[in-house]
Structure 1
Amino acid sequence: MAIIKPFLDSERFASTIGDGTIAVDDLTFVFADTTPDTGLTAFPTSYVSYNLYLNGIPQLDGDSTFDGTTLTILDGASQNAGVPVMIEFTVN
């Protein structure tokens, strides 16, 4: 069982579907495609979990992947360009 540190915080990054990059049917976002919380200069290198919200609605785990630098929304290329995207990382 993993030991979770007692202090948790969140780091949020906002964008829209139109700011991402289409890769076949998927949509990718790098840090430069987002507007971060004040003071953040990159996606976190260490995090407990992340949540993806499209139009304010939380998405299921299998709908996206994150490899440390790029968030990929699977089959996200079909979304309307104006749909708001929020990525929230839980960090400790």
Structure 2
Amino acid sequence: MAIIKPFLTSARYTSTIGVGTGVGPAFAIAATAFDNDAGVAATAFPSTFVYYNLYINGILQQGNTSTITTTAITIPNGDAENAGTPVTVEFVIN
């Protein structure tokens, strides 16, 4: 039988497309360009999490839309979006 941790929490980070760098498949936004739930600049994304959700302009994206590390989120062709488009990354952590 699998052991299920009884505690789950989430952490959300917000930014805009305009702070990203690169073009096409190499477009990425650094973790340090995001603000956390407290409105403070993030230093890194969580290193362990169950899953994450990516919202672009408030719309949940499909799972294959991005890849993530502790230092950045890569959104292929994200540079095609308007610079002011909001980006939210939500991590579910246990």
TM-score range, shorter chain: 0.7 to 0.9
Identify if the C-alpha distance between structure 1 residues 20 and 4 changes in structure 2 by more than 3 Å, giving closer, same or farther: farther
Divergent runs of 4+, >4 A: none
**Paired residue secondary structure (2:48):** coil
Q: Determine whether 1:43 maps to 2:45.
A: yes
Which runs of 5 or more structure 2 residues have no equivalent in the other structure? none
Find the aligned partners of 2:15 and 2:69 in 1 and give their Cα distance. 18
What displacement does 1:41 show? 4.2
Q: Could you tell me which amino acid in structure 2 is paired with residue 13 of structure 1?
A: Y
What displacement does 1:4 show? 3.6
**Paired residue secondary structure (2:28):** strand
Number of residue pairs matched by the alignment: 91
- String of CA shifts for 1:19-50, please: whole Å, max 9, x gaps: 1112x303211221111122764210110000
CA RMSD in angstroms, aligned pairs only: 1.9
**1:7 aligned partner:** 7
Which runs of 5 or more structure 1 residues have no equivalent in the other structure? none
Higher strand share: 1
Aligned-pair identity in percent equals 49
Taking structure 1 as the reference length, the TM-score comes to 0.87
**1:71 aligned partner:** 73
Find the aligned partners of 1:44 and 1:90 in 2 and give their Cα distance. 10
Find the aligned partners of 2:44 and 2:2 in 1 and give their Cα distance. 25
- String of CA shifts for 1:36-68, please: whole Å, max 9, x gaps: 122764210110000000010000011101133
Identify if the C-alpha distance between structure 1 residues 80 and 2 changes in structure 2 by more than 3 Å, giving closer, same or farther: farther
